[in-house]
């Protein structure tokens, strides 16, 4: 992949051995199973898919918190892999993460000041005045007041706690931030505030994001490009407009059909809707993993797994029928 990519992933696999006793009956869980992906500086890549498809495992691998079984991850010029030994200090200043649950991700025994100051001290910022200035500046960037620095997490609302989580992720001035369902645990009234804050910080600090979400409305609003993940594999990727207006994989169409839309006809939603539940990553279906739920299933889908093929400019899909023109979204009545 091109050197200008901030993140480059090639053939990434993360497999776990599960079950069994005394070495008997163990099985392989393929959480991530052969992924190629890239993120350029300053862009937002949306990563979507149902729970259990491997999104969070992929995020942990990028953070260096899960060891890849195979493949290569290159973040800001550093290799992360089975045999790579990245400089953790440099990696922490390159990629950080905003977690889903603002109630569980903060240490209840630490004040906000210490939560933000400790990473700075750990990474060599020893001047007390500089630490205090950077903490105050970051609090202001996320919309919190100076007096909030001496409070504990239990004294804040969910939205304020997520602002603290964002501040902690940004205090080392990383280039890439992974947002793992950053608004799903928040009240609907607060979600737009956090999304707008993330967008403002992206522009102000020149950040790149990986936005992991099952909420396609959030992904559509924030993302430059979108990757759709199913059972450990990328089944479609492209610009947000291509993904939402011209989806080529039946799973992508099923996800879009699940978005509440008062103007969509019921029969169209029923046609695109996926049947059943996501299969187990321990025992995935043969051929195309999506075929048991797919309305387009034919014999070839069971016999052979499709590879990502180009279906347009910057638009790729892994489906034997990706060149079949899908039904366009119904127009909104005037």
- Please give the residue that has the higher pLDDT: either 280 or 286: 286
Report the C-alpha gap between 297 and 274 in whole angstroms. 12
Give the containing element (helix H, strand E) for 17: strand 7-18
CB pairs under 8 A, 24+ apart, for 305-311? 308/36, 308/234, 308/235, 308/237, 311/248
Please say whether the dihedral angle defined by the alpha carbons of residues 309, 177, 208 and 90, taken in this order, is positive or negative: negative
| pLDDT at 85 (0 to 100) | 73
pLDDT, one tens digit per residue, over 127-180 is: 999 999 999 999 999 999 999 999 999 999 999 999 999 999 999 999 999 999
Residue environment code for 288-302, b if the CB has 16+ CB neighbours within 10 A, otherwise e: bbbbbbbebbeeebe
Per-residue pLDDT, averaged over 39-66, amounts to: 93
Q: What is the pLDDT of residue 274?
A: 67
Q: Are 239 and 223 in contact (CB under 8 A)?
A: no
Q: Record the pTM.
A: 0.88
- Is 213:219 a contact under the CB 8 Å cutoff? yes
CA atoms 17, 47, 214, 177: torsion sign: positive
Rounded to whole angstroms, the Cα distance separating 100 from 56 reads 10
**pLDDT, greater one: 103 or 135:** 135
- Residue whose entry in the numeric block shows the structure tokens 């992720």: 169
**Residue 200 pLDDT exceeds 90:** yes
Instruction: Output the six-digit token pair for 157.
Output: 């609302």
Sole residue written with tokens 């947000």: 240
Specify the 3-state DSSP secondary structure of 316: strand
Place of tokens 């053939």: 11
Contacts with 203 (C-beta within 8 Å, 6 or more apart), sequence order? none
The residues facing 178 across adjacent strands are 97, 210
124: phi then psi, degrees, rounded to nearest 5: 95, 5
- Does the pLDDT at position 267 exceed 60? no
Give the span between the Cα atoms of 236 and 7, in whole angstroms. Answer: 18
Specify the pLDDT at position 1: 42
pLDDT band at 333 (very low <50, low <70, confident <90, very high): very low
The confidence score (pLDDT) of residue 22 equals 64
Query: Residue holding tokens 């522009």?
Result: 203
CA 98 – CA 284 distance, rounded (Å):
30
How does the average pLDDT of the chain come out, rounded?
A: 88
What is the tens place of the pLDDT at every residue in 8-34? 999 999 999 887 666 667 888 999 999
Residue 229 and residue 53 in contact, taking contact as beta carbons nearer than 8 Å: yes
Order of strands across the sheet that contains 95-98:
95-98, 176-180, 208-213, 44-48, 225-230, 233-239, 315-317, 309-312
Q: Who has greater pLDDT, 122 or 24?
A: 122
Return the CA Rg of the chain: 21
């Amino acid at each position: 992949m091109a050197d200008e990519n901030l993140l480059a992933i090639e053939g990434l696999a993360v497999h776990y051995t599960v079950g069994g006793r005394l070495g008997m009956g163990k099985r392989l869980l393929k959480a991530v199973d052969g992924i190629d992906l890239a993120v350029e500086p300053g862009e937002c890549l949306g990563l979507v898919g149902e729970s259990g498809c491997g999104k969070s495992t992929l995020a942990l691998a990028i953070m260096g918190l899960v060891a890849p079984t195979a493949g290569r991850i290159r973040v800001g010029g550093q290799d992360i892999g089975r045999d790579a030994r990245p400089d953790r200090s440099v990696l922490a200043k390159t990629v950080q993460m905003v977690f889903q649950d603002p109630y569980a991700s903060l240490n209840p025994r630490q004040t906000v000041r210490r939560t933000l100051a400790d990473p700075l001290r750990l990474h060599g910022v020893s001047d007390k005045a500089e630490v205090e200035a950077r903490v105050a500046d970051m609090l202001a960037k996320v919309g919190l007041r100076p007096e909030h620095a001496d409070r504990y997490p239990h004294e804040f609302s969910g939205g304020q706690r997520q602002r603290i989580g964002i501040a902690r992720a940004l205090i080392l001035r990383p280039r890439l931030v992974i947002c793992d369902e950053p608004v799903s645990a928040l009240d609907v009234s607060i979600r737009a505030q956090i999304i707008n804050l993330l967008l403002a910080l992206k522009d102000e600090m020149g950040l790149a994001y990986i936005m992991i979400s099952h909420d396609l409305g959030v992904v559509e609003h924030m993302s430059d490009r979108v990757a759709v993940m199913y059972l450990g594999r990328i089944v479609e990727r492209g610009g947000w407009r291509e993904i939402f207006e011209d989806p080529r994989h039946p799973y992508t169409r099923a996800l879009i059909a699940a978005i509440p839309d008062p103007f969509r006809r019921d029969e169209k939603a029923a046609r695109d809707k996926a049947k059943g539940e996501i299969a187990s990553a321990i025992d995935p279906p043969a051929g195309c993993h999506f075929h048991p739920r797919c309305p387009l299933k034919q014999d070839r889908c069971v016999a052979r797994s499709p590879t990502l093929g180009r279906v347009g400019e910057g638009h790729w899909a892994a489906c034997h029928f990706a060149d079949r023109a899908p039904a366009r979204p119904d127009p909104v009545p005037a």
